Amino acid sequence: MAQVLGSSGMGKVAFAANVVAPLAKFSGLGSLFFAQPRKIGTLIPGVVLEEDGRDEMEITQHPVEHGAPITDHAYMRPAELMMRCAWSASLFGQPYLRAIYMQLQQMQASRQPITVSTGKRVYKNMLIRVLSAGTTGPQDENLLNVTCTFQEVLLVRTYESLVSPREQQAQAHNTARPQSTGTVTPIRTANTGVSAATDPGFDYTSMTAVHVVTGGVK
């Protein structure tokens, strides 16, 4: 329905008179945004008055060793987008505005990623984080002025790979999966054969660790 307002002859005249003209004084770009359609999922706004995209990188504040890969210490945060849109009830009345706002609410409540198209970029895998209808006054009773704040959902894929059997690996102690061999019980003995019980001056630094393996993981 919003596409009809933006493309038909009489609809464009009525829409420009009722929406673009009253709101252009706030942005000065009403006609510019009106010329190129934008999309929120499958919904086409009557007019987009403002777009504000944000890409932010998270960078470590800890010192990084010289020569280390810097990419290991920085990552991109989800993209964010703020879009201020408007629809007019001049042709279809108040029920049309309620239907548009209900459709936006359903998009938000479904929590399904959508594609948002702006004049500069196409944002994929976006969710509506904030949906605001603003304040309605006597002069904009027949207008739906909505501010949507979108945030990207970062989607990843994981893969499982097969590895060679342990006996075929050159460094199985480093690359093979752990194998259970039962419980490991450590026992400490002294090199001198003298214990602390018989010698108060016994030196513990001369001790060596001997592990009696009765099972465990190697």
Q: Domains of the chain: which residue ranges?
A: 2-152, 179-197+206-218
Best mean pLDDT range from 12-26, 70-84, 199-213: 70-84
pLDDT higher than 90, residue 201: no
pLDDT at 211: 45
pLDDT at 12: 45
Q: How far apart are CA 162 and CA 143, in angstroms?
A: 60
Instruction: Report the percentage of the chain scoring pLDDT > 90.
Output: 44
**Which residue, chain included where needed, has tokens 């279809």?**
92
Q: Tell me, what DSSP letter sits at residue 175?
A: H
Q: Hey, which bits of the chain come out as E strands?
A: 39-40, 47-54, 57-59, 74-76, 80-88, 114-117, 122-132, 143-152, 183-190, 207-214
pLDDT higher than 90, residue 215: no
State the burial class of residue 76 (Cβ atoms within 10 Å of its Cβ: 0-12, 13-18, 19+). exposed
Mean pLDDT of 35-62: 90
pLDDT at 36: 54
Give the residues across from 143 on adjacent strands: 88
Mean pLDDT of 192-215: 50
Write down the pTM of the prediction. 0.60
pLDDT at 187: 67
pLDDT band at residue 97, thresholds of 50, 70 and 90? very high
pLDDT at 161: 74
Mean of the per-residue pLDDT values of the chain: 76
Contacts of 122-128 with CB under 8 Å at 24 or more apart are 123/53, 123/79, 123/81, 123/150, 123/152, 124/152, 125/152, 125/153, 125/154, 125/155, 126/79, 126/81, 126/150, 126/151, 126/152, 126/153, 127/151, 127/153, 128/104
- For 2-152, CATH number out of 2.40.30, 3.40.50, 1.10.357, 2.60.40 equals 2.40.30
Instruction: For residue range 143-178, list pLDDT tens digits in order.
Output: 999 999 999 999 988 888 777 777 777 777 677 777
pLDDT at 218: 46
Question: Of 212, 191, 213, which is closest to residue 202 (Cα–Cα)?
Answer: 191
Lowest pLDDT segment from 23-37, 70-84, 172-186: 23-37
pLDDT higher than 60, residue 65: yes
pLDDT at 122: 95
Instruction: Report the percentage of the chain scoring pLDDT > 70.
Output: 67
Outline where the chain has alpha helix (H). Answer: 2-7, 9-15, 21-27, 30-35, 94-110, 172-175
pLDDT at 151: 98
